[in-house]
């Protein structure tokens, strides 16, 4: 389940920041045509935190139509415990193949509370769920191992980036389940992909696939083939400069992706607040970084 490169479509907005569903359908179709093995709608890159429950459902309907059965369609849920439960149920009724459960809104409890949040959210539904480990939703090795007892929870996606903790989480879960799935969902996941593959977290998602699928697919293939000359070149020429720019401003893990998609001619519009747009000098550097990345794969 969920082999290959996972794509997280951007959510396009009009000039007044309302959803642009026809542009969304184009984006989902582009991901599938460009080699994504599954699409995860309305998650981090898709600005889940800025969307209403109704908007997420509209994106699910448009995304399913656009994917047309060619790849699995997963969708985000999360926020308050009540919204997370309602979101998972609505995703199930709306025909999603699975749900990425994002962290609880605003308040962090202890790890046992995070586990309870997942139990509460998945109660009464059977659609497969992957739990996103980041921010206000953190696990210990022992609480992560208890996820195995929840039949609909099939995996954990790490967005924290603590290799020591993830190594211990993978070991604790593997002692109880060989089938449980692990995903690297760190911002610009390619940068940590080699290290994470070494600790049995080989699946990853690529936000870069939203604007430079040529680069994302070349990196994925090189990583899969053990072609370190290519992964090293793409890291040096493209991913590491991109991450340096990304780290200049909070929220750029999404804003830069949207800006780069616009630069490549895609109809995605701007970001909703609290995200901000890159300045002109940052846009110019972004353009240079993408040009260098495309040259490296040409």
Told to check if 8 binds ligand GLR by CB under 6 A, we report yes
Q: How far is the CB of 181 from ligand GLR (least distance, A)?
A: 14
Which listed residue (189, 199, 212, 290) binds ligand GLR by CB under 6 A?
189
Q: By CB under 6 A, which span of 31-39, 66-74, 203-211, 267-275 interacts with ligand GLR? A: 203-211
The pairing of beta strand 98-104 with beta strand 73-79: parallel
Active-site residue, 132 included? yes
DSSP letter for each residue of 81-109: HHHHHHHHHHHHHTT-SEEEEEEESS---
Q: How far is the CB of 142 from ligand GLR (least distance, A)?
A: 25
Catalytic residue among 24, 117, 120, 157: 157
* 219-222: Cβ within 8 A, 24+ apart: 219/190, 219/193, 220/4, 220/5
Q: What are phi and psi of 12, to 5 degrees?
A: -75, 140
Active-site residue, 204 included? no
Measured over the CA atoms of residue 243, residue 247, residue 252 and residue 256, the dihedral's sign is negative
114 is in an annotated binding site: no
C-beta of 8 vs 117, nearer to ligand GLR = 8
Told to check if 238 binds ligand GLR by CB under 6 A, we report no
Distance between CA atoms of residues 7 and 155, nearest Å:
17
Start-to-end Cα distance in the chain: 31
Told to check if 130 binds ligand GLR by CB under 6 A, we report no
Q: How far is the CB of 244 from ligand GLR (least distance, A)?
A: 15
Please give the residue whose beta carbon sits closest to ligand GLR in the complex: 44
Cβ atoms of residues 38 and 3 within 8 Å: no
- Give me the residues that bind ligand GLR (CB under 6 A), please: 8, 43-45, 159, 185-189, 205-207, 253
Detail the residues annotated as belonging to a binding site. Answer: 45
Residues with catalytic annotation?
Answer: 132, 157
């Amino acid at each position: 389940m969920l082999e290959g490169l996972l794509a997280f479509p951007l959510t396009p907005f009009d000039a007044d920041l309302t959803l642009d569903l026809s542009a969304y359908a184009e984006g989902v179709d582009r991901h599938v045509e460009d080699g994504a093995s599954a699409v995860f709608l309305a998650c981090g890159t898709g600005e889940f935190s800025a969307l209403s429950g109704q908007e997420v459902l509209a994106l699910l309907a448009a995304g399913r139509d656009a994917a047309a059965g060619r790849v699995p369609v997963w969708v985000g849920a999360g926020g308050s415990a009540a919204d997370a439960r309602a979101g998972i149920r609505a995703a199930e009724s709306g025909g999603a193949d699975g749900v990425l459960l994002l962290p609880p809104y605003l308040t962090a409890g202890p790890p046992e509370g995070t586990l309870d949040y997942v139990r509460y959210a998945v109660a009464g539904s059977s659609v497969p769920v992957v739990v996103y480990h980041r921010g206000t939703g953190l696990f210990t090795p022992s609480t992560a191992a208890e996820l195995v007892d929840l039949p609909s929870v099939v995996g954990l996606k790490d967005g924290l980036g603590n290799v020591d903790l993830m190594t211990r989480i993978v070991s604790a879960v593997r002692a109880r389940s060989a089938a449980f799935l692990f995903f690297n969902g760190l911002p610009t996941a390619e940068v940590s992909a080699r290290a994470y593959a070494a600790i049995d977290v080989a699946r990853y998602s690529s936000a870069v696939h939203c604007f430079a699928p040529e680069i994302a697919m070349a990196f994925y293939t090189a990583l899969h083939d053990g072609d370190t000359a290519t992964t090293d070149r793409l890291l040096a020429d493209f991913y590491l400069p991109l991450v340096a720019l990304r780290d200049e401003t909070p929220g750029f893990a999404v804003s830069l992706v949207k800006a780069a998609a616009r630069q490549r001619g895609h109809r995605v519009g701007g970001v909703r607040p609290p995200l901000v747009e890159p300045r002109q000098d940052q846009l110019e550097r972004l353009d240079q970084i993408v040009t260098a990345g495309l040259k490296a794969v040409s």
